[in-house]
Structure formats: C-alpha cells, structure tokens
Amino acid sequence: MEFSRTKINDVIIIIPKVFGDNRGYFLETFREDDFIQQGIGPKFVQDNHSGSQQSVLRGLHYQIKQAQGKLIRVLAGEIYDVVVDIRKSSRTFGQWIGVSLTSESKQQLWVPPGFAHGFFVMSEWAEIAYKATDYYAPQYERTILWNDLDLNISWPLIPGQDPIISAKDEKGITFRNAEYYL
C-alpha cells in the first residue's frame, strides 16, 4: 500500500496495490503493521456499511467524546468525501479537504479522531464501508451544517438536484457554534 498525505497532514489517502489477472483481482485493505508505521490507529473496534442513492449528502458528523478515527472505502459507486479539522489546537483548525473515492480506484481515506466527516453520493448508488477506532455513541454525536458559510465547502452537487439530507443533518449547527476538540 502507498500512503499519501493530504494538505491536512493527518488525513491520509491509502492507495492499494491491486493484483489482477483474467480471474479478477486481489488487494489488501488493511495491514496493521503498515498502518501503525504510518501512525494510523489505535485499533479498530467497529465496522460499518452504508448504502445511499445519488444526491444523498450525509454529515458533517463527529462524536465530541469517544472520538472516532475512520478508515473509509467505497465498495460500489462514487462519493465525494469531506473532512473538517475541528481540533482547536491544530494549525489546520477549520480547514477542510474533499476527496473523490470510487469503487474502481479502491483508494481508502484515513480520517483521524478530531475531524467532522461527511460525504455526497455522485453515482446512482454507492456503498461505503468504514472501520472506526471507537464505538458509535449517539449521546456524543454532533452535526455541523453541510453548507456552513464559514467553511464554504465546495460540494460537487448535481445541477438541478437538491441534495437529499436527513432531518437530523438539517438541524446541524454552524461551525462557529460547534463543540471542538482541544
């Protein structure tokens, strides 16, 4: 695997080595020793899988306690994945990055604890799997508005279609009023 740092150094794109022949392909999606060497961890404790139709926008989610690091990959389709640094002590506090993840590229994205996370489905259907470093704890879950003016995220929305957003995400708060990590 190749580990590529993004403009927010702690957020990493993982590019697999794919071995293919006339039967199909094989790749490693996780190898603990390589991940530890890159500073990715601690151990993963939960796996999640979600499916969404085109134009679904989920996020921006985080847990203020039991912060989750997430290793994200797309099993089918394409998403635009966004992470926002909400670590108050970080030099990249308040900055965001967006990455296109597809089932064809097989790339993964490491989102460390201390970031809000969301994604927009660009294909007709997308399935996303992700490993988490801590357990889901709804009592600590928070949501920042996906269209917060201060963050000014450039979502690749589909012309003529409004994003499909859950009632919970519509009630998100502004970045200025969010709870941050220290």
Catalytic residue among 62, 80, 117, 130: 130
Question: In which region does residue 39 sit, left (phi positive, over 0), alpha (psi from -120 to 50) or beta (all else)?
Answer: left
Residue with tokens 């996370």: 117
Can you list the alpha helix ranges (DSSP code H) found in the chain? 32-37, 167-170
Residues found in the chain: 182
Contact 143, 173 (CB under 8 A): yes
Among the options 49, 61, 117, 181, which is catalytic? 61
Is 130 assigned a catalytic role? yes
Question: Please, which residues have CB within 8 angstroms of residue 138's CB and are 6 or more apart in sequence?
Answer: none
128: number of CA atoms within 13 Å, CB side? 27
Q: Is there a contact between 118 and 146 (Cβ–Cβ < 8 Å)?
A: yes
CA distance 82 to 61: 10
Q: What type of residue sits at position 10?
A: D
The pair of three-digit structure tokens given for residue 166, joined into one six-digit string: 């859950």
Q: Which residues are marked as active site?
A: 61, 130
